[in-house]
Structure formats: structure tokens, C-alpha cells
Amino acid sequence: MTVSIALFDLGRVVLDWQPAYLYDKIFDRPEDRDHFLGSVCTMAWHMRHDAGATFAENAAPLIAEHPGFESPIRAWGGRWMEMFHGYIPGTAALIERLDAAGVPLYALSNMPADPWAEMLAHFTILQRFRDVVVSGEINMIKPDPAIFRYTLERIGNPAPESVLFIDDSAANIAAAAALGFATHHFTDATGLEASLSACGLI
């Protein structure tokens, strides 16, 4: 079946998101930043936001466990937008080309619900998507197959084979491929452009 729809992940595919961008401002020494991100505000802890926890409710038990880090823990939600450094080079331009060609564009992202409205207003390229499935709004996260099935329903039940799913996570790509999606494991915009061209989308 011909691929006709593009389904993008957002973080590290479209948006340049790295917690270190914020915590470089908070900690004077890289080793202190790395300790904090590796032992306190870890990716496993952050995934609870992606699964539906608010910043406030997820911070409370962590602050109780690490009271000396209360301020940097609260910064995760309070200064969330400082974790971004614009767009991943080249991806926004590809989205603009796809949109100009009339390709239906959607996004599926593991993302907290709390800051989504601010992100949508700030990063205008996100407004090119016809719909964005934000994991924190529906309490499901990739690579759970259920979120891919939900996404298909939400975008009108196309055949999975007609959807090119683009993500930087190998686990997410494997989950989508197992359900029949066409996939592209993102590393950079050059590779994505080649994949889009091979699919006949650009």
C-alpha cells in the first residue's frame, strides 16, 4: 500500500529538547548537573509526566525524598520551556514542504499535558499538524501498542501501512512496525528527507 500520511514524534525529531539546556543554568559544574539528572530527576521519573502525572503531583514525592534539591526539582515544570533549543536542524523545513504538498501531517508524542498549550503557541511549526496525540492527555505512552491503535482511530482509521511513523526511539519504531506501520528511525533530517522521498511524499 502507498504511504500517504506522515506521523511525527516531536521531542528530538522536531523539537530540540534536552533537560541539560535548563540544568546547565542551574548547576555550575557539569558533574553536579549530571548527578542530578542521573539520580534525582531521571528519565524514569519524567516518564510519569508523559503518562499523565502533573508536574506538581510528580514533584511532591521527589522533593520529600530529596529536600535539598527542591528548587531544581520544581524547575523541571516551572522552567520547562528552557529545556528547548528551537527545532532539530532541517526537520521544520521538511514539515513545511510536506504541508505545502498537501500531505496529511499528524504527531504522536510522549509529552506532559501541563505545558502543551504553551508549546503549541511557541513552536509555530506544530500548528501544521492536523492533530497531535499528547500522551499525558490520554494516560498512555509509547511504545504501548494501545497508543498507536488509539492514534489510528483518532486520525480516521487509515491502514497502518499508509502511515509513515517517524521517531528517534528504536523501541517505539519496533512497536509501530509490529502493528504494520511504515517507519523511519530518525537520526537527522538528511536521512528523513531520503525516506520521505522514497515513500513519494516529497
Confidence band for 138, pLDDT divided at 50, 70 and 90: very high
Cell 522536531, residue located: 14
Collapse the DSSP code of 78 into the 3-class scheme (helix H, G, I; strand E, B; otherwise coil) and give the result.
helix
Confidence band for 8, pLDDT divided at 50, 70 and 90: very high
Rounded to an integer, what distance in angstroms lies between the CA atom of residue 163 and that of residue 183?
A: 8
Q: Identify the pLDDT of residue 58.
A: 98
Model confidence pLDDT, tens digit, residues 91-122: 999 999 999 999 999 999 999 999 999 999 99
Is it true that the peptide bond before 145 is cis, omega within 30 degrees of 0? no
DSSP code per residue over 145-165: HHHHHHHHHHTT---GGGEEE
Percent of the chain with pLDDT over 90: 100
Q: Identify the pLDDT of residue 33.
A: 98
Please state the φ and ψ torsions of residue 43, each to the nearest 5 degrees.
-65, -35
Model confidence pLDDT, tens digit, residues 139-154: 999 999 999 999 999 9
Tell me what the pLDDT averaged over the chain comes to: 98
Rounded to an integer, what distance in angstroms lies between the CA atom of residue 200 and that of residue 153?
A: 24
Percent of the chain with pLDDT over 70: 100
Residue 1 has pLDDT above 90, yes or no: no
Confidence band for 164, pLDDT divided at 50, 70 and 90: very high
